Amino acid sequence: MAINFLNTVNFNLNSVNNIRIQNLGTDPSAANSAIGQIYFNTTVDTLKQYVADTQNPPVPGAPTPGWVEVGVSTAVEDFTNINGTYVSNSIVNTKATGNVSTGTVDLSAVDGTSVAGTRFLSKDNEWAVVSNVAIATATTLGTVKLFSDTEQTVAAATISATALRTYGVQFNSSDQMVVNVPWTDTNVVTYTLDVPTGTTDINLKGSDGTDDPITISGSANQIAVSRASASKLEIALTPDVTIEDDLTVGGIITQTQTGGSSTTGVNNGAVSNSDALVLTADNTAIVVGMVLSGTGIVENITIATVTDAKTFVLSSATNIANTTTITFSETNSFATQLDMNNNRIAEVKTGIVGTDAVNLAQVNSLIAGNGSFKGAYNATNDPGSPIISTNNNVALSKGDYFVVTSGGVITFSDKAVTVEVGDFIFAEDDIAAGGGVGAGTASTEYIIVIADANLATAGTLTGAQRGVAGFDEDIFTVTTTSPTAGFVSLNKQTNPYGISVLLEDGVDNAAGTETTFTVDITTDARFGTGAKAKNCKAEVITEVGRLTSYPEVTGNGVGSMIFKFKPVVADGVVDTSGYRALISIV
């Protein structure tokens, strides 16, 4: 069954893909035809159109509408070309259709016949020869001059596909074509590299001996390299070495960065971070940033300022007893991440400040008491499983917890507690097993979290509170028996804001070509108080057969919805001509 469109369909410049024109064996009658209508005639196997006048020539005062094949005009104009020496582009007849003769078209030069290989037909319609052509440039085609007329006897090389082996052609001062080919000198020579006075010289000599001297001396904070033998280079590091990029080192790295130590401190007792600490022995290697260590000294104390080899100020206060041996050591500083390549970091001290790394023992002490998940708790049969409320209770550590998977009552020594599915039971402290000292026979030994005690609220997806909720039985169904207890389903709903209206009292707006039906939304009591047309949408169906139809639906924005039908439809007749609007308020 076809879709029933009752008004013009506007595709807004969009295409209709994979369309099939209506197939008929004969032309539709005049009553079922309209100017511009098309269909495919399966008898003559062609596309046909309904035109305003089929007469040739047309008779404007008395046209005869009818069906003709698409592309066949009712008028044909003859066209004969004017012969001449050449054909001008201005001789064009755009109106001619059908079987049209264009005459004989000839081409001939003004001054006679062309000579093969020597002439061409120029724009001025004359046969011409090539002469006085300009010299070729990088942007213009033209003539060129050879470097020599001597014939090259060496065969041409195979074309290379290697990069940097294709060279361009240029002109020299005599307008001869030349190629500039790059050249690399492969002879072994000795180069002496001179550097300005006052800097380290670099001497590189030939490789004809086994003891060639090579010396590369580094400047301050860099590496000095010298040749120890024919096959050995020595690298000497200055006290401070700066490496600008990545450093890859194989083998074992041993670092000694101890600045020194002092066996006696003259300050007996607490030293603030503003008091100067004076030692009895010089420590010339002390620098700012070194870390102090020794018996009784707080960790992570560093040197803040240095006055001389014996006197310096600490970064914070600490207690240093007389005769304490103090060791000063530098701190390694890495500018980027340190990749351990899946190896352990051994002998890590206990962390002090928030940015320190910690060892495994410290981690274990920090997480002690956090507890772990002990599995499901079934409260169906008091005292439940596993037992936590009698002298046969299981042992638990502080923070251990269960999740209730079957609800029920747990009878403790002090009171009974009802738990439901999803509740949590936490051990508030270490609980011994079997009813001994600290056994968990009382409810006070546990923290029981009733997970669904809060009421659900309305709000945003992330802001609404999850919790206990109730459901309208007229709209929802909730199962109460296992194993689907608590499952919520939406009942089949009817639209309380939808009205079915038979379109009656139609008005003929265009002398038998269009009918309009008006439905007043604000005055029809079926829509309720405050209904507005701008908040309504409608679907139109036939009264018989319930065929969805597509009239033009408009409105005034407040009071009424207007349905326009083209061509004319019967006014409220309950038959195949009757239509019903299904209107919903949204």
Report the pLDDT value the prediction gives residue 201, as an integer from 0 to 100: 46
- Same domain for 419 and 484, yes or no, is yes
- Same domain for 385 and 285, yes or no, is no
Which of the 8 DSSP states describes residue 366?
H
Taking only the tens place, the pLDDT of each residue in 310-332 is 888 888 888 777 677 788 777 77
Domain assignment of residue 169, yes or no: no
Mean pLDDT of 517-522: 89
Domain assignment of residue 219, yes or no: yes
Q: Which residue has the higher pLDDT, 208 or 482?
A: 482
DSSP conformation letters of 512-546: SS-EEEEEETTT-GGG-TT--GGGEEEEEEETTT-
> How many residues are present in the chain?
586
- Same domain for 561 and 480, yes or no, is no
Taking only the tens place, the pLDDT of each residue in 387-431 is 998 888 888 888 899 999 998 999 988 888 888 888 999 998 888
Phi, psi of 424 (to 5 degrees): -115, 140
- Same domain for 402 and 485, yes or no, is yes
- Same domain for 374 and 476, yes or no, is yes
Report the pLDDT value the prediction gives residue 213, as an integer from 0 to 100: 52
User: Could you give the CA distance from residue 458 to residue 466 in angstroms, rounded to a whole number?
Assistant: 9
- Same domain for 488 and 502, yes or no, is no
Is it the case that residue 264 has pLDDT exceeding 60? Answer: no
Among residues 174, 179, 181, 170, the alpha carbon closest in space to that of 136 is found at 170
Domain assignment of residue 174, yes or no: no
Q: What is the pTM of this model?
A: 0.31
SS (H, E, C) 300-356: CCEEEEECCCCEEEECCCEEECCCCCEEEECCCCCCCCCCCCCCCCCCCCCCCCCCC
Q: Per DSSP, what are the bridge partners of residue 270?
A: 319
* Rounded-to-5 percentages of helix, strand, coil across the chain: 5, 25, 70
Number of domains in the chain: 4
User: Could you give the CA distance from residue 459 to residue 63 in angstroms, rounded to a whole number?
Assistant: 71
Mean pLDDT of 261-289: 67
User: Could you give the CA distance from residue 163 to residue 8 in angstroms, rounded to a whole number?
Assistant: 65
Element containing residue 362 per DSSP (H, E): helix 360-367
Answer whether 469's CB lies under 8 Å from 456's CB: yes
Domain assignment of residue 286, yes or no: yes
- Same domain for 377 and 486, yes or no, is yes
Least confident of 1-15, 24-38, 191-205, 554-568: 191-205
Domain region containing 264:
258-329
Residue whose structure tokens are 């940015």 = 355
Answer whether 444's CB lies under 8 Å from 425's CB: no
Among residues 377, 437, 446, the alpha carbon closest in space to that of 415 is found at 446
Mean pLDDT of the chain, nearest integer: 76
- Same domain for 309 and 407, yes or no, is no
Domain assignment of residue 52, yes or no: no
- Same domain for 217 and 286, yes or no, is no
Give the CATH number for residue 295: 2.40.30
Report the pLDDT value the prediction gives residue 298, as an integer from 0 to 100: 79
Among residues 223, 216, 268, the alpha carbon closest in space to that of 241 is found at 223
Which of helix, strand or coil describes residue 6? coil
- Same domain for 511 and 568, yes or no, is yes
Report the pLDDT value the prediction gives residue 391, as an integer from 0 to 100: 82
- Same domain for 555 and 476, yes or no, is no
User: Could you give the CA distance from residue 292 to residue 261 in angstroms, rounded to a whole number?
Assistant: 9
Mean pLDDT of 437-462: 76
Q: Per DSSP, what are the bridge partners of residue 516?
A: 507, 564
Q: Which residue has the higher pLDDT, 238 or 40?
A: 40
- Same domain for 399 and 317, yes or no, is no
Is it the case that residue 47 has pLDDT exceeding 90? Answer: yes
